[in-house]
Structure 1
Amino acid sequence: MGYPFIQHIQQLLQSDLPGEKAHRKMLPPGRKLSANFNEMSEVKYSSVLLLLFPHEGRIYTCLTRRNPNMKNHPGQISFPGGRIEEGESPELTAMREAQEEVGISPLDIRLLGMLSQLFIPVSGYTIFPYVGWVDHKPNFVLNEAEAEKLILLPVQEFLQEERIAHTEMDTIRGRLRVPYYPYEGEIIWGATAMILAEFFEILKEGSLTLQ
């Protein structure tokens, strides 16, 4: 079975991206969208992978709930990803981390392009979000040292209906009312929600239904 929309997504990722306009829809209050490098002792970079795959007639992406013992963003919902190591390209980092966290072979992944970079002031990281495709549901193997749960998110459901809710969250900046995407009892907020918001916006602007 072919998936002609994959080439369309690849083309859309090479055109002008909505970036900040989409990110602001899911931006927590008081959060900056750019770094003040005069205030930072170190510039840090990470990559994440928004992986698309088909399953039972629908297109999914995979998220994880981070291990509550992780140093950065413990217990939060995130894409597979991590810090870019010295001498490593952002693309390689995204695929390496996907293999380490959820067991996806880089040989199976077709990279389609990159979404807009995103700065996270809480951890001081700039994120490079990559979009990838696997033409079958991967045999996921969860690395429980880094993630305690695998979440398979059906992309079409969020294209058909914009499910943005708000809730109170305890953060290192205090208790905040934040926007989030609800899914099966999970609260998808912060950087993960902002990356998803841009991807959904790109698909909508390109009139893609993923059929």
Structure 2
Amino acid sequence: MSGFFYGDLMEPEILKQKEPFRQAVIDRLGPLPIDFAEKFDFIHSTRHTSERYSAAGVLLLLFFRENAASSPTGQGEYCFHLIKRSARVSQPGDLSCPGGMLAPRLDVFLKPLISCGMIRVLQGDAKRHVRQRRPAEVAALMLFLTGAVREAWEEIGLSPFNVRFLGPLPCHSLILFRRTIFPLVGLVNNTPRYRPNHEVERIVEIPLRSFFQTENFARMQIQAVDDIHRADQASWEFPCFVQRDRDNGQDVLWGATLHIIIRFLEILFDFELPDVSSHPVITRTLGQNYMTGTK
């Protein structure tokens, strides 16, 4: 990717180039070392213990918006498609990637549909890179890819025939939950017709170029109720990203999903999170329903 790295948060021109960027993502993520097999083995080893961990596969979705109205030049540009979680599920109001917990028996049953190419999620160079990995890595990657594609269909109605796998990202373990996220980058091929279910309030589209504008970053100060905060800490402060819409509304991206996106940008562009020590503070209280939703 020589020539695609930009310092000082300058916007990379490749974000406006549909095919070159898609290929660059495949080339960078294809040989990337991942820890899927090791993390999955650990999670499996805890299944009969008092501290059982869980695993979730998610899709970091990319979509190329042709003649984007939000673009300063009106050119096409790449965007992330995230979901805003509804009040009926845990972590209500958070932005996250589509996906969720494995359904082991169902996902094992569905996996051959992707592996054999009946559902063409895995194609071309991305498929070649997967085949060059260790058998244990391939098995774990394909299982989580299947689960993430299935969950995206259930949550937002994303057709499995309209998404193409580009590559994996390193796992991320959550702080408040005994859960590890297995992220996979997918490209939405054609303009999607999303149908969010009860778990999703709405779809949020964020141009990738927005992450190269330092004014979009802030500090999030989290206050937690007694049954959430740890004995030694009742509040936390994290970097966050603020997505503003045309009606002066805003969505705040923080935590695991922001970490996954920043990791993706680091791998692609040597991106560095800006210093937010002097940026505005956004305060949020995590209530009793944060862990469970209202159900």
TM-score by length of 2: 0.58
- Report the equivalent of 1:142: 196
- How many residue pairs match? The answer is 188
Aligned equivalents of 2:144, 2:50: Cα separation in 1: 21
Partner amino acid, structure 2, of 1:166: R
Residues 56-205 of structure 1: pairs in structure 2 closer than 5 A: 56=67, 57-70=76-89, 72-87=90-105, 88=107, 89-143=143-197, 145-158=198-211, 160-162=212-214, 163-171=216-224, 172-173=228-229, 174-184=234-244, 185-205=250-270
Distance change in 2, residues 1:157/1:2 (3 Å): closer
Unaligned runs of 5+ residues in structure 1 are 20-33, 207-211
Aligned equivalents of 1:2, 1:176: Cα separation in 2: 39
SS at match of 1:68: coil
Per the TM alignment, residue 2 of structure 1 is displaced from its structure 2 partner at its CA by 5.8
TM-score by length of 1: 0.80
Aligned equivalents of 2:147, 2:86: Cα separation in 1: 20
Of the structure 1 ranges 81-90 and 134-143, higher mean CA displacement relative to structure 2 is found in 134-143
Larger helix proportion of the pair: 2
Partner amino acid, structure 2, of 1:65: K
- Report the equivalent of 2:53: 43
Aligned equivalents of 2:242, 2:180: Cα separation in 1: 25
SS at match of 1:176: strand
SS at match of 1:92: helix
Distance change in 2, residues 1:127/1:2 (3 Å): closer
Aligned equivalents of 1:106, 1:18: Cα separation in 2: 24
SS at match of 2:210: helix
Aligned equivalents of 1:77, 1:116: Cα separation in 2: 19
Higher Rg: 2
Task: Decide whether the 8 Å contact of 1:17 with 1:202 is kept in 2.
Answer: no
Unaligned runs of 5+ residues in structure 2 are 1-16, 36-41, 68-75, 108-142, 245-249, 272-295
Distance change in 2, residues 1:170/1:195 (3 Å): same
Alignment RMSD: 2.6
Task: Decide whether the 8 Å contact of 2:98 with 2:152 is kept in 1.
Answer: yes
Task: Decide whether the 8 Å contact of 2:83 with 2:96 is kept in 1.
Answer: yes
Aligned equivalents of 1:154, 1:73: Cα separation in 2: 23
SS at match of 2:19: coil
Per the TM alignment, residue 149 of structure 1 is displaced from its structure 2 partner at its CA by 2.0
Per the TM alignment, residue 117 of structure 1 is displaced from its structure 2 partner at its CA by 0.5
Partner amino acid, structure 1, of 2:78: I
Aligned equivalents of 2:220, 2:144: Cα separation in 1: 33
Larger strand proportion of the pair: 1
Aligned equivalents of 2:221, 2:53: Cα separation in 1: 30
Query: Which digits, 9 at most, give the CA deviation of each residue in 1:109-168, with x for residues without a partner?
Result: 11011100011131211110000012332112111x10112100111221x334431022
Task: Decide whether the 8 Å contact of 2:34 with 2:171 is kept in 1.
Answer: no
- Report the equivalent of 1:25: none
